[in-house]
Amino acid sequence: MYVYVNSQGYVQMIQNGGIAQTLTGLTRYETDTPLPASPNNDYAYHWEKKTWEDPRTPDQINTQLALAARNQRQPLLNESDWTQIPNGPLTTAQQQAWSSYRQALRDITTQTGFPSVITWPVAPDASK
């Protein structure tokens, strides 16, 4: 087995068998030992330290967390669009409760701790 390591020491590619390749910018090592299982998909194996690490910067992590939060929020907004239809089945009070909920969803990005700590609003009961 061949492992190909970048200049920061992280494994970029594993080749199980075949002819060893020369890849620009990567150092090749031959090994009989498979890498240990990764703790999650965001981690990279550091060849010299023999450990799994998260190579992302704090800004990259925050960007990914913010995107995940927005992706979680959008379906909640989409699923509650019907509550804001004029002359819909809701009372004025129910429609206002839903409007407040939707605004709270839009405001998650302004919460202290966003994107790593989010207090998600609870949807009103549509049957009341």
Within 10 A of 47 (CB to CB), how many other CB atoms are there? Answer: 20
Is 128 among the domain residues?
no
Going by pLDDT thresholds of 50, 70 and 90, the confidence category of residue 127 is low
Does residue 116 register a pLDDT over 70? Answer: yes
pLDDT in tens, 31-75: 998 899 888 888 999 999 999 998 888 999 999 999 999 999 999
Question: pLDDT: is 127 or 128 the higher one?
Answer: 127
Query: Is 47 in the same domain as 62?
Result: no
For residues 11 and 27, what is the distance between their CA atoms, to the nearest angstrom?
A: 9
Query: Is 44 in the same domain as 6?
Result: yes
Is 45 among the domain residues?
yes
Which structural domain, as residue segments, surrounds residue 69? 58-110
For residues 128 and 122, what is the distance between their CA atoms, to the nearest angstrom?
A: 15
pLDDT of residue 58: 92
pLDDT of residue 30: 92
Within 10 A of 87 (CB to CB), how many other CB atoms are there? Answer: 5
Query: Is 39 in the same domain as 72?
Result: no
Does residue 102 register a pLDDT over 90? Answer: yes
Does residue 128 register a pLDDT over 80? Answer: no
**Average pLDDT score over residue span 96-111:** 97
